[in-house]
Chains A and B, each alone.
Chain A
């Protein structure tokens, strides 16, 4: 379903993604793990047509997303790592805009919006502007929105960041459900190794832009001779702490939150 070959992305002299190759089969849940700044989000951005690769090839459902952007975009859904809601709109309006952009028929849009907002416990506050929501609520809305249309491939970029255990549980149950019932292929990144261990069929570990290990959770644990995925991960990527340098968007967010009196 996803085929990546010799993918490279450089920003100036910095190589964010360095010659990675992997395959994700149809109906598979693939977890992409790596420390901060390892190249996870850059890879997802290339897979979802937001960034152009420097070199290498990508196939989504046998389509090249570079040459067939719209056909490729029809096939996937994505929950971003950082916010992507319109804060001035209400929860329902955000769902509505998304549904229209993804060609979900009117009736289905209505039904699914209600179903998903109820599932993620936002239905009571559906007509409130998103800027009045707490961080966790925004995150839940973001995820609910990602499920509004039924994609063939679902990208989840650190979906559980900032979620309480209840919502997290709800999310993974739902992910497993759409994976089993609707055969949706799932490509996810997370920092919680237990989640990856529980949910993913296969795992890829990326560090410094290189894919350092690939296989089922059992295979990875076996190959590193460790008991838990967490230990395997630390063994593969070392224990030094990584910092991502703030990009202009982060700087602007900081500026804006200062400017808006820290309302965010």
Chain B
């Protein structure tokens, strides 16, 4: 077993031990599916846009993957506080390996979380047009998870206390979610919102899932574009995160 693997394993162990947290983290997606999916469903239908639950489900899955992955990266803050970070930073292992182990661990947890929400959505009545495309949707979940886990590490490397955490939550994580087209269609918006959503990487992740789960008619971009944007931005953030992580001083 090497360093990357053992740190990945550690993230999974921690996840499986926080059962209460797993249940709690499913509360929000349920609320969204229920309140928005069913609540706004009739209006959406009257507007001629079809089933809102169908449209919303990939967005809520994307939200869970986003939250879970970015928080795993910000978990650096907790490791800094409880000291475990030091233990990994003095180990004779290149920091890039430590960063990759953590990021992949966090991303794996986020994908599991996304799959749980997918199951929830199926229970609520969501149906993909073709069951065979599910692996492709999981592929997009993985891309979203790695991208935001890397962003989380990049930010977490510089965070010193809880105040910073609140700031990130309110001015980064929530905007990324709400301005991503998770809950509204990206097409036919005004110029300002269109531009903003184009700069949100999550837009492409959720759009990618809509492309494969619902068909291209329900998506805003080409699936190839979604894929390329996520891979490119993900790679940049991984490099950026690794650089920031290598500079940590305690």
Contacts and interface: CB of A to CB of B under 8 A. Distances in A.
Contacts of A86: 10, 14, 79, 82, 84, 87
A78 B90 contact: yes
B86 A253 contact: no
A50 B90 contact: yes
Interface string A101-135: 11100100000000000000000000001000000
Interface residues of B, number: 33
A61 interface: no
A47 to B, nearest CB: 10
Contacts of B5: 100
Interface stretch (A22-30, A90-98, A199-207): A90-98
Consensus secondary structure, chain B interface:
helix
Interface residues on A, range: 35 or more
Interface in B64-105: 77, 79-94
Contact of A249 (B6, B18, B80, B84): B80
Interface string A220-264: 000000000000000000000000000011011101100000000
A102 B13 contact: no
B123 interface: no
A100 B13 contact: no
A161 interface: no
A73 B90 contact: yes
B88 to A, nearest CB: 7
Interface of B: 1-3, 5-7, 10, 13-14, 17-18, 77, 79-94, 160-162, 249-250
21 contacts: A50-B90, A51-B249, A51-B250, A78-B90, A80-B87, A84-B85, A84-B86, A84-B87, A85-B87, A86-B10, A86-B82, A88-B14, A97-B6, A97-B7, A97-B10, A98-B87, A101-B91, A248-B160, A249-B160, A251-B161, A252-B81
Interface of A: 45, 48-52, 70-71, 73-74, 76, 78, 80, 82-89, 93, 96-98, 100-103, 106, 129, 248-249, 251-253, 255-256
